[in-house]
A and B are shown apart, each in its own frame.
Chain A
Amino acid sequence: DTGVSQDPRHKITKRGQNVTFRCDPISEHNRLYWYRQTLGQGPEFLTYFQNEAQLEKSRLLSDRFSAERPKGSFSTLEIQRTEQGDSAMYLCASSFAGSETQYFGPGTRLLVL
């Protein structure tokens, strides 16, 4: 297994467009997390899944953001009507129930013009 992968690695979009990112966790990891990181800050929690169930969602996640994990494997994060303030690194992590360690992907860097 090559670890957590994210696609795309970079995305440039115009304000108002929709974007979707994908995360493939480590096989058999049943927990999947999304974080957002902006310059000079640590990653901020957005949402978390256990299998296909979305168990927690940050207040940072406005109605324009939606995340899914339909089959309990890969996950998608969609941002609708992007704004310049959405420009950030979006990180995905996965873990196995019973283990505290979260394994991170390389992130998707989003730039909204």
Chain B
Amino acid sequence: ILNVEQSPQSLHVQEGDSTNFTCSFPSSNFYALHWYRWETAKSPEALFVMTLNGDEKKKGRISATLNTKEGYSYLYIKGSQPEDSATYLCAPSHSSASKIIFGSGTRLSIRP
């Protein structure tokens, strides 16, 4: 069973500031790491899937890095905007098509 920890649990950031949060997971039997963004009243939206140690992915102002040897991933948001307010979930998986184990998320609020 994967024990996934995300920190911080919640974060309040001023609009325009950059921010980052952490996901840690057991490094054994690792297959892939997923990041999702979940806005209130909407479906969780896939941001990134990363599989290789040292992977870096970018989507607009959001980027993520992966360290599979030590079992962590960082998500960065540059120049936060109000529309970035959401819960950000990370989820590692053991193998292709297996269940993904979600952390409890980081709830991000952007202050205008």
Contacts and interface: CB of A to CB of B under 8 A. Distances in A.
Interface stretch (B52-60, B61-69, B73-81, B89-97): B89-97
Contact of B49 (A43, A48, A101): A101
B13 interface: no
Interface string B76-112: 0000000000000101010011111111110000000
Range class of the B interface residue count: 20 to 34
Nearest to A105: B43
B44 interface: yes
Contact of B96 (A35, A48, A91, A100): A100
B43 A50 contact: no
Range class of the A interface residue count: 20 to 34
B96 to A, nearest CB: 7
A43 B102 CA distance: 6
Interface string B11-51: 00000000000000000000010101000011111100101
B99 A48 contact: yes
A101 B104 contact: no
A31 B97 contact: yes
A65 interface: no
A41 B104 contact: yes
Interface of B: 4, 32, 34, 36, 41-46, 49, 51, 89, 91, 93, 96-105
Given A48-B99, A103-B43, 18 more contacts: A4-B43, A40-B104, A41-B104, A42-B102, A42-B103, A43-B89, A43-B102, A45-B101, A48-B97, A56-B98, A56-B99, A58-B99, A97-B97, A100-B96, A101-B34, A101-B49, A103-B46, A106-B41
25 contacts: A3-B43, A35-B102, A42-B89, A42-B102, A43-B89, A43-B102, A45-B99, A45-B101, A48-B97, A50-B97, A56-B98, A56-B99, A91-B43, A95-B97, A100-B49, A100-B93, A100-B96, A101-B34, A102-B34, A102-B46, A103-B43, A104-B43, A104-B45, A105-B43, A106-B43
